[in-house]
Amino acid sequence: MSLLIKNALLVDGAGEHGRGDVLINNGKIASLSGGEAATTIDGSGFVLTPALFDPHSHLRSPGQEVKEDLRSGLLAAAKGGYAAVVAMPNTEPAIQRPEDVRGLYQQASRLDGARLLLAAALTEEQQGRRLTPAGLLRQAGAVLLSDDGRSNDDAGVLARGLLYAAAASLTVAVHAEDTSLRGEGLMNDGALSAQLGIPGNPAEAEAARIARDLEVLRWAVRKAAPLGHQVRLYVQHVSSKRGAELIEMAHADKLPVYAEVTPHHLTLTAENWRSFDPVFKVAPPLREPEDVDALLRALESGVISSIGSDHAPHTRAEKERDLQNAPFGIPNIEVAFPLLFSELVDKRGFPLAKLIARMSDGPREALGMKEIRLRVGEVADLMLFDPGASRSVDPATFLSKARYSPWQGWRLKGWPLLTLLAGKEVWRDAALA
């Protein structure tokens, strides 16, 4: 099946390339200057980019399908412009055995939507004690190891995990919070948490654990060097100015650390907690405006090279519990790109090519994968979006099972109109003729 997308503005992580006529044939980009095709789409006024890559999503399978399942999650991701999503292993039971990985891939092969990639647990049951078999998990298709949802408190276990992961050419992702400093904190620790009477989770809890994990990484790099193994540490959902500063210092020391920020930590702040609405309850918590500004600077400079959705769906009933008992997490995979296009590119002048890079190239690099470009011969994992038309966020239209949103009612631009996976249409908006 061949497809021609005519007169679209071409943008990838390397920059803007003017308007082109992109011919797709046999799942790959065959030409940037047109040609004969069975189907033609007029891309005038639209932007064509590589489809997005989400390194951090919670699809809740197995065991938590009441919140989300592979079908709903992968369809929602495709609607959001994603070609691939990495599902986290904090499920019931945890994804920790090679047969777990193979079984989920088999299920996903029968489903429409984005491509499923799997993170496996770093330790058994994500308890932080006994390591899982990194090499066998890699052979089964795992692309990442992580105990996400829990912090790796034992530095020795994390250190050995980094070495074994490196031997299997896998990256280790960490949820960096010092649990003893975090305590029972629900929102950012500061003047507002004291005023509202809500337990605070300090930015120092994140910074202290990032600092420790970077020293563990330094040790692992030294130990792995004689073996020729490449250690990679991926710090998930950095939320604070100090956290970003520590990553920048590590880069100056040439440590192989990659960092991620989420859409909610870039667009929401602790001030949202004045509503006392659990929809804003997330870990790590929403921080102060100065943290958001620091994260944006780090994102633009490349200190933070990835945007991960941390899509964390729960049932509406769970999120409508009281603040103490409602679960942490924000669903966002369908709105992440239009949200960031509107708030960063349209309002703040953030370069579009850099946004695409942070939502595609950066995550792939962190996992040891090659970048995606708009060039002949590349796999046609593509997103076409409208940079001009705006519409309101309406959770009732979500394909995810989590039909609520902290951005409900926000008017956003940049909604994906078409998502292609190896040339196959996995999402088409009704607005696309």
**3 state SS for 51-70:** CEEEEEECCCCCCCCCCCCH
Which is catalytic among the residues 54, 310, 381, 386? 310
The β-bridge partners of 420 are 382, 425
DSSP 261: E
Q: Cα dist. 323→64, 189, 197, 355, 414 in Å?
A: 21, 15, 12, 33, 33
Dihedral-angle region of residue 302 (phi above 0 means left; psi in -120 to 50 means alpha; beta otherwise)? left
Which pair of tokens denotes residue 223? 């130990």
Contact criterion met (CB below 8 Å) for 49 and 385: yes
CB 389, CB 45: distance < 8 Å = no
Q: Are strands 382-385 and 306-307 parallel, antiparallel or unpaired?
A: unpaired
Q: Are 116 and 102 in contact (CB under 8 A)?
A: no
Residue 310 is a catalytic residue = yes
Active site members? 310
